[in-house]
Structure 1
Amino acid sequence: MLKLRLVLAMAILPLYLIAQSNEKSFTVKYITQPITVDGILDESVWEDAESAHGFQQFFPTDSVIAKQKTEIKMLFDDTTLYIGIKQEAAGRDYITPSLRRDYRAGNSDNITLLFDTFNDGTNAFLFGINPLGVRREALISGGGNDLRGFTTSWDVKWRGESKIHDNYYISEMAIPLTSFKFREGETKWRFNSYRFDLQSNERSNWTIIPQNQWVFNLAFMGDMHFEKPLGKSRTPLALIPYINGISGRDFENDISENNVKVGGDAKIAIGNGMNLDITLNPDFSQVEVDNFITNLTRFEVSLPERRQFFIDNSDLFSTFGGGRDANPFFSRRIGIAKDTDDNTIENKIIGGVRLSGKLNNNLRLGFLNIQTEEDEANEIASNNNMMLALQQKVFSRSNISMFFINRQSFDSPEFLDESEEYNRVMGMDYNLASADNTWSGKFYGHKSFQPNDSDGNYSFGAFTNYNAKNYGAFIDLVYIDEEFQSDLGFIPRNDIFKIASNFNKNFWPKDRKINNHSIGLFSIYTWRPGLDYQNTDYYYNLNWGAEFNNLSMLNADVTHRFIYLTDEFEPTGKDGAVALPANQGYHFTASTIEFQSDRRKNFSFGVMPTYGEFFNGTKFSVEGDLNFRLQPVVNMSMMFNYDHIDLPAPYARADIWLVAPRVDITFSKSIFWSTLVQYSSQRDNLGFNSRLQWRFAPLSDLFLVYNDNYYVNSFMPRNRSINLKLTYWLNI
């Protein structure tokens, strides 16, 4: 019996030690001595501060200690969290492509800190800094399971500086506690950090994260313990007024505009966990323009939200349902409408409020109410757009969420059809996330209500994902009733029952060139319930992909598709082209190869050619990008996409081009100039957008924005504008 106990003890001990090694923690000491944020760490209190150290490599492998040491120390007083970081390096040859705030981390040397202040493994605040002291911040939602939960549009005031030495650099940060949300009296936050060290070609984390997970996944974190309980949140009232001078001309409609707009936002903290955002006569002229996309499908394309007012706690509103098929709330619908010619135009937002955050450790609340203006000339009614959402945490990292959406027209103008007076949607989602993120999923049921139409109108879905280091798989089921409608949602098509599935096998060879490669099979089947469950679409994709240790990537796949057209469809977009007939099925197969070079180089590129059948003809496509930098001041890039479609007579042949060069110049950490040119033959548009930004005070900016658009074929002007906008962030 004793021998058996010894054998069991010897067998269990390594597992116990591994488990213990993952439970990292350190103490954040309370101080009263002032700290100067200069990247030097010469105050005596830093010597006694505990540190987070012993970083674990994430790339090229996740099973060894990082080559270059990283040490993070933290201190706090009544108002501020102070952070001192020492990062050893192989030399001074750092890659820092830009001086612009909110830089992209993956292609540069930098370190990022993640703070899960409610210890729920679902949401976190992110702060980062690079060797030149350039800063970034972001919000993480959805447990950090994918990039959809990574929001860089969030802004907050904080300080940071870096100093470069021969074989290391020091960063010092001061983040006001008002930048976080947390429970009063809290003594512990979950914490992790990840670092990109491009000189050693290494990515590392403080706590171990398996290489098959995202480097910012919140399932893998340690603990930071505060020496003294945190007090009540004292977030100040922030007023953000703006004034915008506009001069523009719409050449299509022969309309000129010379105007001055004023408005602004207010941010008010309610308790330790809630934010109240108020906007009045908002203006989004400084927001970057959307990238053009060549769309050869029958369905609408979803574009990301860039407007600051909709960003904070956006996951409370935008993650219901299925993002690809049945998302009931898509904030970009607000402020956009169709005119009498079915063209998409801006619909002015009068104002709105947005309340979001934590009611307690396990319950989150989101409430949004926005009023849009009536546009009688384009027969657009004034609408009140409202959403209420509740999210209750269950188990370790899962949650149950409920919502109610109401889009209600005002005054019922004569041009408004009775069926369009309102649209209401309600539903419930269960979001699954296991403690180690091996299993994740979603199950939901939604119902819409329209005037004189309350029967049926359902949307259901179920998604389950398994993500282990060597194997991955998911299955996704979607049902959308023919009459389901969400005016504030993104629903490309109704009347579908869809099953999508994927299986992939991952390989991790001990090769000096290939870091990992995988092979996978992805499939989609779609049936139409309204057509006696006729199978109208299916899609198979057999793919192989490899990531090399020099950070280049190679992918190849073969796809086979079947589409049964229930309505006629003309894929080239040419005027006068003969549409493919309805009630006919098409089988077509195509092959793709994609290569992405090492982004660490001053010049890098990506290219992806595709050739194969396309409906009853053929299609050759090539898309890619070219990037060149003179760090850290100048970044130049060009995205391109070419499609040659050859359909048999009497159908069309077409050459579709999309070319988009961009120049980004960062004169300093506070002055930025970017110019984007976009040529799209499909849109018949050549667009210029040039934006000069001067950040003259924290989160306070002066923008000069020039927009110009021309018809491609005639090179006649479409519209032109210039904006001079001043925003100022005032804490009261």
Structure 2
Amino acid sequence: MNRFVITSILFLTTLNLFSQHKEFEVKYVKSPVSIDGILDEPGWDEAQPAKDFWQYFPSDSVQAKNQSEIKMLYNENYLYVGIKVYIEGQDFVIPSLRRDFRAGGSDNITLMFDTFNDGANAFLFGVNPAGVRREALVSGGGTSLRGFTTSWDVKWTAETKVYDEYYISEWAIPMSSFKFTEGTKKWRFNSYQFDTQGNERNTWIRIPRNQFIFNLSYMGDMIFEKPLSRSKTPISLIPYVTGSLGRDFETEKDLDDFKAGGDAKLSIGNSLNLDLTFNPDFSQVEADNLVTNLTRFEVNLPERRQFFIENSDLFGDFGNPEEANPFFSRRIGIARDSSGINRQIDIVAGARLSGKLNNDFRIGLLNIQTKEKEEFNIGANNNTVIALQHRLFERSNISAIFLNRQNTSSDLMNPEDEYNRVIGLDYNLGTLDNTWAGNAYLHKSFSPGLTEDDFSTGLRLNYNSFNWRVRGSGFYVGENFNSDLGFIPRKGILRIDPKIEHLIFPTNEKMVQHNISFIPMVIWKPNLDYKMTDYNFIGAWDTEFTNTSKLSARAFNRYTYLFSEFDPSRVGDIALPASTDYHYTSGELEYGSDSRKIFFYELESNYGEFYNGKKFTQEARLNLRLQPNYLMSMEVRYDHVDLPEPYSDNDIWLIGSKFDITFSKSLFWATLIQYSNIENNFGINSRLQWRFAPLSDIYLVYNDNYFSNNSFAPRYRSINLKLNYWLYL
């Protein structure tokens, strides 16, 4: 029997071991359940529990040492959840009392509901022993961290009580929080639980360690006693008022302002959402972390604005997400002036319809109007996105997108800025067990005066077994392919970036997993006779220890051809000339400590050649938890760029420190202090938030920015007071 046959048998045996069919019944109750964390209503005694949890970490082959039991009841208005989690003691890890906490490194239990039974999307709710709640949306089958969105918010209640050997959590989630097909009797379901004292991560449905713990391929069934009826469809109004005092010291202008506006949320049937916004204000949104970017290209930052969050995968998961994404929502509200500087643009109003028309067909419609900014010669624009998705087979789909940015200020309009349009078609492959996944796409843009080389296409195929992950992928972006609403850092390139990764699960008690991987990335310029412009060969070894610490080592071998001059030191002095090329190698070592400790940290060091010189990078991320009220973190990055004469050297510093104080579950104070000498900025963002009613807040936000050079002169200062209130009609 040859090696291929043996490997195939072992792989199929492994799949069979993880193939489970577990289900439990959800009882119908007429009377409401009191949410007090006691589970003393008669319905709880009759409810069938979801039990017999499996370990996911440190092993995936044994039952959990500390078990959990989950019961559910329901009526037309609410899904009631009663959870009993067994514990070894009460020395919990609870970093914060702030809602939407991270599951990693803390005690909690999380439930996921696949309401359309398609293995593609799920609603996620979780709680920790202190009764702090979190909710999120899981998209893309739960196969990557990109599909995990914690910015989504809904109204629901939970109470938790801790006893000697267990804690109990009781929930009431409005049925209107879910989207589902009327008349259905089954949802797919899974739960995962983090136990820091027992050093376990457990799941109801057994999940292999080579998959994410929130992977939607591995789920059981919750069977409703009666078919689900149409849920109540409330209208949510979220008005706001905000006042600000500010001054731009560079232009010597006062920036005092008063605004009012709001959002509205309407459920259309059980499966569609209509979101409306008028004169939105995002002053309360958490500030972005500064980054040190030593590449020649821009970096993207995550979307944090609530209006763009729900069903964001329907609009944003097209093309290559990191290199050729036709729609990147953060482009809306930002425009580039004639000097190439990005300016913040006010949004007048917007509407978004998204959700499912039936079990196989999703639709997304988005239209947003932005204002003009006359002082920067930026016109008003209407931005439209239409996304359609049809499911094929079990977890695959075919998707289409249309984007249109239309200038609506003819007096400010440059001919080349009149419009930009993109049409595209994607096929997304996903097998039920996640063994095969992939994507193929073709997108074409339409811009004034451009008729050739204005398309982008790509292909990716992933194979994922218990011990091997193999990827074949490549894409092309035409020189004239433009998407003003997308993220496309490079054009006119053909790139391939396959990957092979071997996963090893040792029996050593101190080690959990080794990953050995190799990624050869190569880029050519097709319009220059396929001249090679870059390559980066990456070899990596990653290991995870039983105590949750991690160690990684990476080696890089690079080649870069400069088509235009570039200063790697960022001094702005003498740049490396165009039409030159460079071969350079470097190595990197990273260590992350036990995240369950009061003080935990990550250290990263990189040293090696950098273009025609050398670069040394040292980065430290430090965290101190004085739970549950105080969480302090600091990130320090130092880059020393050493180039030969006549080019410049540079010492680049980036320091960020965050202080997060949660006085209670409704009063929070977060302060972010950042220093960057490459940006010549020292900034303070301090935000006091009082949640005086469910999803209703008062924010007091203070921003202060200074030049970080010797003068330390002020750049910009503001203080904002904002009130928003969530009304159900």
**1:396 Cα deviation after fit:** 0.5
Counterpart for residue 616 of structure 1: 612
- Say if 1:448 and 1:454, in contact at 8 Å, map to a contact too: no
Counterpart for residue 307 of structure 1: 305
User: Which one of the candidate residues 586, 590, 593 is aligned to 1:594?
Assistant: 590
The superposition leaves residues 247-301 of structure 1 with CA deviations (integer Å, 9 ceiling, x where unpaired) of 0001111110222100000001111100000000000000001000000000010
Which secondary structure does the structure 1 equivalent of 2:189 belong to? strand
CA 223–152 in structure 1, closer or farther in 2 if over 3 Å, else same: same
5 Å matches for 1:373-522? 373-413=371-411, 415-522=412-519
Task: State the AA in 2 paired with 1:712.
Answer: S
Identity of aligned residues (%): 57
Counterpart for residue 263 of structure 1: 261
Task: State the AA in 1 paired with 2:141.
Answer: G
Counterpart for residue 3 of structure 2: none
Rounded Cα–Cα distance in structure 1 between residues aligned with 2:362 and 2:63: 38
Which secondary structure does the structure 2 equivalent of 1:359 belong to? strand
Counterpart for residue 42 of structure 2: 44
User: Which one of the candidate residues 581, 585, 588 is aligned to 1:585?
Assistant: 581
- Say if 1:432 and 1:439, in contact at 8 Å, map to a contact too: yes
Counterpart for residue 650 of structure 2: 654
Counterpart for residue 537 of structure 1: 534
Rounded Cα–Cα distance in structure 1 between residues aligned with 2:451 and 2:666: 54
The superposition leaves residues 397-426 of structure 1 with CA deviations (integer Å, 9 ceiling, x where unpaired) of 11000010000001422x422121000000
Rounded Cα–Cα distance in structure 1 between residues aligned with 2:402 and 2:19: 44
5 Å matches for 1:336-355? 336-355=334-353
Rounded Cα–Cα distance in structure 2 between residues aligned with 1:20 and 1:251: 62
Which secondary structure does the structure 1 equivalent of 2:255 belong to? strand
**Is residue 572 from structure 1 mapped to residue 530 from structure 2 by the alignment?**
no
- Say if 2:235 and 2:728, in contact at 8 Å, map to a contact too: yes
**1:341 Cα deviation after fit:** 3.1
Rounded Cα–Cα distance in structure 1 between residues aligned with 2:219 and 2:233: 26
The superposition leaves residues 81-111 of structure 1 with CA deviations (integer Å, 9 ceiling, x where unpaired) of 0000001111111111110000011110000
**1:623 Cα deviation after fit:** 1.1
Rounded Cα–Cα distance in structure 2 between residues aligned with 1:15 and 1:215: 21
User: Which one of the candidate residues 624, 627, 634 is aligned to 1:631?
Assistant: 627
Bigger shift: 451-460 or 166-175? 451-460
**1:208 Cα deviation after fit:** 1.1
- Say if 1:552 and 1:599, in contact at 8 Å, map to a contact too: yes
Rounded Cα–Cα distance in structure 2 between residues aligned with 1:660 and 1:17: 45
Uncovered stretches (5+) of structure 1, i.e. residues with no partner: 1-10
**Aligned CA-pair RMSD:** 1.4
Task: State the AA in 2 paired with 1:561.
Answer: R
Rounded Cα–Cα distance in structure 2 between residues aligned with 1:465 and 1:609: 30
User: Which one of the candidate residues 204, 209, 212 is aligned to 1:211?
Assistant: 209
- Say if 1:75 and 1:83, in contact at 8 Å, map to a contact too: yes
Which secondary structure does the structure 1 equivalent of 2:533 belong to? strand
- Say if 2:381 and 2:409, in contact at 8 Å, map to a contact too: no
**Is residue 550 from structure 1 mapped to residue 547 from structure 2 by the alignment?**
yes
Counterpart for residue 126 of structure 2: 128
Counterpart for residue 4 of structure 1: none
Paired residues in the alignment total 719
Task: State the AA in 1 paired with 2:644.
Answer: P
Which secondary structure does the structure 2 equivalent of 1:51 belong to? coil
Rounded Cα–Cα distance in structure 1 between residues aligned with 2:341 and 2:561: 28
Task: State the AA in 2 paired with 1:32.
Answer: K
The superposition leaves residues 139-192 of structure 1 with CA deviations (integer Å, 9 ceiling, x where unpaired) of 001000101000000000000011111111111111010110111111100000
- Say if 2:176 and 2:270, in contact at 8 Å, map to a contact too: no
The superposition leaves residues 17-39 of structure 1 with CA deviations (integer Å, 9 ceiling, x where unpaired) of 95797100011000113211111
- Say if 1:659 and 1:678, in contact at 8 Å, map to a contact too: yes
**Is residue 727 from structure 1 mapped to residue 727 from structure 2 by the alignment?**
no
Bigger shift: 544-553 or 468-477? 468-477
Rounded Cα–Cα distance in structure 2 between residues aligned with 1:172 and 1:452: 61
- Say if 1:322 and 1:461, in contact at 8 Å, map to a contact too: yes
Which secondary structure does the structure 1 equivalent of 2:35 belong to? coil
Which secondary structure does the structure 2 equivalent of 1:183 belong to? coil
Counterpart for residue 5 of structure 2: none
Task: State the AA in 2 paired with 1:441.
Answer: G
**1:15 Cα deviation after fit:** 7.0
- Say if 1:365 and 1:389, in contact at 8 Å, map to a contact too: yes
Rounded Cα–Cα distance in structure 2 between residues aligned with 1:624 and 1:190: 41
Counterpart for residue 155 of structure 1: 153
The superposition leaves residues 591-623 of structure 1 with CA deviations (integer Å, 9 ceiling, x where unpaired) of 111000001000011000110000000000011
5 Å matches for 1:50-449? 50-413=48-411, 415-449=412-446
- Say if 1:458 and 1:481, in contact at 8 Å, map to a contact too: yes
Task: State the AA in 2 paired with 1:138.
Answer: A
The superposition leaves residues 53-82 of structure 1 with CA deviations (integer Å, 9 ceiling, x where unpaired) of 000110001111111111000000120000
Task: State the AA in 2 paired with 1:199.
Answer: Q
Q: TM-score when scaled to structure 1?
A: 0.97
Rounded Cα–Cα distance in structure 2 between residues aligned with 1:433 and 1:622: 39
Rounded Cα–Cα distance in structure 2 between residues aligned with 1:557 and 1:290: 28
- Say if 1:182 and 1:233, in contact at 8 Å, map to a contact too: no
Q: Which ranges of 4 or more aligned residues in structure 1 deviate by more than 4 Å?
A: 14-21
- Say if 2:564 and 2:578, in contact at 8 Å, map to a contact too: yes
Counterpart for residue 643 of structure 1: 639
Rounded Cα–Cα distance in structure 2 between residues aligned with 1:548 and 1:557: 18
**1:16 Cα deviation after fit:** 12
Rounded Cα–Cα distance in structure 1 between residues aligned with 2:270 and 2:31: 25
Rounded Cα–Cα distance in structure 1 between residues aligned with 2:231 and 2:175: 8
Which secondary structure does the structure 2 equivalent of 1:316 belong to? helix
Rounded Cα–Cα distance in structure 2 between residues aligned with 1:518 and 1:150: 23
Rounded Cα–Cα distance in structure 1 between residues aligned with 2:576 and 2:164: 66
Task: State the AA in 1 paired with 2:621.
Answer: D
CA 248–232 in structure 1, closer or farther in 2 if over 3 Å, else same: same
- Say if 2:372 and 2:409, in contact at 8 Å, map to a contact too: no
Rounded Cα–Cα distance in structure 1 between residues aligned with 2:335 and 2:252: 21
- Say if 1:481 and 1:494, in contact at 8 Å, map to a contact too: yes
Which secondary structure does the structure 2 equivalent of 1:178 belong to? helix
**1:453 Cα deviation after fit:** 2.2
**1:133 Cα deviation after fit:** 0.5
Which secondary structure does the structure 2 equivalent of 1:107 belong to? coil
- Say if 2:18 and 2:206, in contact at 8 Å, map to a contact too: no
**1:452 Cα deviation after fit:** 2.9
Rounded Cα–Cα distance in structure 1 between residues aligned with 2:638 and 2:197: 36
**1:510 Cα deviation after fit:** 0.4
- Say if 1:421 and 1:451, in contact at 8 Å, map to a contact too: yes
Rounded Cα–Cα distance in structure 2 between residues aligned with 1:338 and 1:712: 25
Which secondary structure does the structure 2 equivalent of 1:22 belong to? coil
Rounded Cα–Cα distance in structure 2 between residues aligned with 1:396 and 1:507: 30
- Say if 1:179 and 1:235, in contact at 8 Å, map to a contact too: no
Rounded Cα–Cα distance in structure 1 between residues aligned with 2:641 and 2:536: 20
Uncovered stretches (5+) of structure 2, i.e. residues with no partner: 1-8
Which secondary structure does the structure 2 equivalent of 1:105 belong to? coil
Task: State the AA in 2 paired with 1:585.
Answer: D
